[in-house]
Amino acid sequence: MLALGSACPAPTTTTTSDSSADAVSDAPVVDPDANASETSATDANLETSAELPPPPGCDCVHGVCADGGGCTCHPGWEGPLCEALGDIIVPWNAGPYGLGIKDTAEDFTVSLIDEGDVTLSELWTGEDSLLFAIKYGASGYNNEFWNTSVASLFYYTPTNVHIFFGSFDPSYATDMSEMKQRVDAALQMLSADEQAQWVGRIHYIDAQANALPGSVGQFIISHGYFLFGIDRLQRWREVGLLWDLTDDSRPIGYLGNEAVYFNYEAELHWKTQGLERDVATTLDVWTAGDRHNGGWAGGFSSRWDVEFPDADTMAGFDKMAIWLYTACPDHKQGKDAGCNEWDYIQTVFICDDVAQAPDPPAQACTFDGQDGPETTTCDCITPVGDTVEGSRTCLEDGTDFGPCNCGCGTEFARYVTSYGREGEWMTDLSPLLPMVNSGGTKTLRFAGANGYDLQGKIFLWDSGSGRRPTKLTYLWGRQGGTAFNADYNAPETHPPVTFDVTEETTHVELFAVVSGHGHSSTVNGCAEFCNHQHQFTLNGQSFWLEHPTAGTAYGCLERTAEGGVPNQFGTWQLGRAGWCAGMDVKPFTQGMTPLLQPTNNALSYNGLFNYQHYTPIVTDPGGYLPEIKMTSWLVFYEAM
């Protein structure tokens, strides 16, 4: 049970940003339960507790153990005898091979200036990716990026990369000599240690690139690319648009963003593999062949049923995460290839269930009445156990009403699509376990205007925390968003909440998904490009969520390592308030346990700009006016 009342320490104030890299605190937090954070696939809260015993007979998922033998893996990809997560080793893949995007790359040999013949399988360490930049003088875009500063490559590119320069032009030998001089000059600007990291990693192809032998030549002929890569999983990859919109330049250094994302994908791959193999109960949500058609009409929503374990089994889990991969046709990028052009919100909702009750007797009804088919009510159960009203519609033959139609508007996970590229993410939804703790069949609704081929799983596991979320109380936020203006903090818009806690409660936290939208219609660029603050106050103690990178030139580019899709075909690099194009919207969690009292806990909320109530100065009344999209819950935990 909770330690309440006088045992609470004196209040302090915690400030948390929308990016872990920017998180700050202006005073010591009360205790570990009071730490605020955004949940993320790379955060420690997706890992199992060190107190959890390792699975018996666990093998290393990601490579050879330090002692050359078996090891204990935790939670399937890391352990005391295993190599660190940063040293993920991907063994050479012996096929099958292909030339399509994300097909496994077959071995090839290329002749390199000053190095001789180099073979991919011999170069392969299992820890590196490859990037190719090929000069093509007839392309204006190619000339633009080829002639930008190569020093930017060493700024953006991680060091576990091999960079291959080549040329399609007959002047390839001169082109390579000139590029080598430029690269050598850029390397001289680095420290000795930094230069050492690039030794043996910059290569110059000693032939015209359109006449290369083996699979690399076949790939070039098949696609005609002058920018491409081979990722950490040995797959052929496209390179997106090299475009810095702040000065409308085409920096060659943006090529390195792809390698940052390759590292993210490798870590995500190994984490999901480890969870599925060694730790978690895995539920398939979307599998090969599943597609969300998209569009603004009937294709906007798609539904899938997911079978959860029974309630007794669910009681053994304290963690839940969802992995989602949104794929474009043939994994090709850009609108011409059928990959969606715009950044739109896409949401996974969890649907209400039909209340279990005996079927009512058949009842004659009117199908073609003046106001359309006759309807009647029925009972539905929300994901948090509340009974709400659904509807039944008269059948066409008028002999009875159809099945109960229940709502499906409870947000489960939120994403923002990328400009013309694929993406994949894993999001920690552990606080939402009460929505599925009853087990059985749950229906998920995928909603969004963009169409994708989908793959996705839900992972359930016990981290050894000793507590699990058992109850949710909805706080504030509307599905369609709330106008961010002078009325935003009105009592009727976000009323204060009072709540009690039971003796069984061991922990209470706030869970919120907050993103700001609307731009170019106010002086401040709110609510997409302004840093608005969200103040949650419990019993006189305030906790803050804010977005300091909103409106910055590179705020979302800097989140590539967290899963933000790089080099999109739009304004992806700009910092946004609580979200980035091509990324999941990270939930915000705030532990509140030390501040609780047994009864009459007072919780309130304000949304502010410059720490003041916001009245926008509107410059375009017909534009996209500021709004906050928020879903927020109070989460109650009990001992397991």
**pLDDT tens digits along 105-136:** 999 999 999 999 999 999 999 999 999 999 99
* pLDDT for residue 87: 59
Q: Does position 85 have pLDDT exceeding 80, yes or no?
A: no
Residues in the chain: 640
How many whole angstroms separate alpha carbon 353 and alpha carbon 382?
6
DSSP alpha helices (H): ranges in 281-410? 311-314
Of 67 and 534, the one with more pLDDT: 534
C-alpha angle 553-556-558 in degrees, rounded to nearest 5: 90
| Phi and psi, residue 30, nearest 5° | -65, -50
pTM for the whole thing? Answer: 0.88
Residue 216, number of CB atoms within 10 A of its CB: 26
Flag whether pLDDT at 77 surpasses 60.
no
Distances (CA, A) of 227 to 27, 42, 219, 422: 48, 29, 12, 17
Cα distance from N-terminal residue to C-terminal residue, the chain:
12
Are 349 and 412 spatial neighbours (Cβ–Cβ below 8 Å)?
yes
Provide the β-strand partners of residue 389: 379
Residue found under tokens 């205790």: 31
pLDDT at residue 31, rounded to an integer? 29
Question: Domains in the chain and their CATH numbers?
Answer: 1-30+466-640 (2.60.120.230), 109-251 (3.40.30), 280-351+411-462 (2.60.120.230), 354-393 (no CATH)
* pLDDT confidence of residue 45: 32
197: tokens are 């990291």
Any residues with CB less than 8 A from the CB of 566 and at least 6 apart, and which? 240, 254, 257, 258, 260, 261, 557, 560, 572
pLDDT tens digit string along 6-15? 222 222 334 4
Residue position matching structure tokens 């002692």: 67
Quote the CA–CA distance of 38 and 431 in Å, as a whole number.
12
Q: What pLDDT, in 10s, does the model give residues 455-503?
A: 999 999 998 889 999 999 999 999 889 999 999 999 999 999 999 999 9
Q: Is the dihedral of CA 262, 263, 264, 269 positive or negative?
A: positive
pLDDT tens per residue across span 599-617: 999 999 999 999 999 999 9
CA distance 223 to 216: 11
pLDDT for residue 356: 84
DSSP 417-462: --SS--EEEEEE-GGGGGGTTTEEEEEEEEE-SS-EEEEEEEEEE-
Q: Are 239 and 141 within 8 A, CB to CB?
A: no
Tell me how far apart the alpha carbons of residues 113 and 244 are, in angstroms, rounded to a whole number.
31
- 419-429: average pLDDT: 97
Long-range contacts of range 244-250, CB-CB < 8 Å, 24 or more positions apart?
244/573, 245/571, 245/573, 245/574, 246/553, 246/554, 246/573, 249/144, 249/148, 250/141, 250/144, 250/145, 250/148
3-state class (DSSP) for residue 259:
helix
- Give the model's confidence band at 63: pLDDT under 50 very low, under 70 low, under 90 confident, else very high: very low
Instruction: Answer whether 421's CB lies under 8 Å from 410's CB.
Output: no
Q: Is the pLDDT score of 541 beyond 60?
A: yes
Share the mean pLDDT of the chain.
Answer: 88
* Rounded (to 5) percent helix, strand, coil in the chain: 20, 30, 50
C-alpha pair distances (Å), 607 with each of 200, 486, 539: 53, 10, 18
Tokens for 114? 């000053």
The DSSP code for 99 is S
- Measured between alpha carbons, how far is 87 from 81 in angstroms, rounded to an integer? 13
Could you write out the three-class secondary structure of 275-308? HHHHHCEEEEEECCCCEECCCCCHHHEEEEEEEE
With beta carbons less than 8 A apart as the criterion, state whether 423 and 371 touch.
no
What average pLDDT does the segment 569-593 reach? Answer: 97
Beta strand 541-546 pairing with 14-17: parallel
Strands 129-135 and 161-167: parallel
